[in-house]
Amino acid sequence: MPQLDVNTFVPQLVWLVIVFGYLYVLMSRVALPRVATVLEERRDRIADDLDQAGQFKRQTDEAIEAYEKALAEARSKAHEIAQATRDALHEETERQRLAIEARLAEKIAEAEKQIAATRDAALQNVRAVAVDVADAIVAQLLGEADRAAAESAVNTELS
């Protein structure tokens, strides 16, 4: 094999140094700067994406905070409106209840007057009937009746 021939070692080493020197210069001047540029662009793009993601996260957090604040305000306002409505309905119901109670009290008083008048009239009729019955019983039993005595006896018993 010619590569292992000792006589050709020196030219092989010279060509090895020349080829590797040329490859080193080519890589350091052309290929590595391109790779470095690509890596730098990639690093910058990643950094920009991370910055943009952080900005979006801050905006999202601010939007969520604003939403929660608006929701809390809406709940508070809804609670206030509901409480005001309950209070107004309670006032209206209480006013109507008092008005109905007043009307019922008037009707009860009027009914009590009518009942008392009817009772008094009935008692007068009962007295008259009782006097007539007592007078008739006495007349039938004794043959003669004293209307004044019958009225006196009935009044004594009914009083």
Tokens of 79: 């609670």
Looking at residue 1, what is its pLDDT?
63
| pLDDT of 148 above 90 | no
Query: Model pTM greater than 0.85?
Result: no
Q: How confident is the model at residue 112 (pLDDT cuts 50, 70, 90)?
A: very high
| pLDDT of 26 above 70 | yes
DSSP 3-state of 146: coil
C-alpha dist (Å) from residue 107 to 111, 113, 126, 157: 6, 10, 27, 34
Per-residue pLDDT averaged across 111-129, rounded? Answer: 87
Helix residue spans in 1-146 (DSSP H): 9-26, 32-142
**Rounded CA separation 97/106 (Å):** 14
Looking at residue 124, what is its pLDDT?
79
Q: Would you kindly state where each structural domain of the chain is located, as residue ranges?
A: 7-158
Residue with more model confidence, 151 or 103: 103
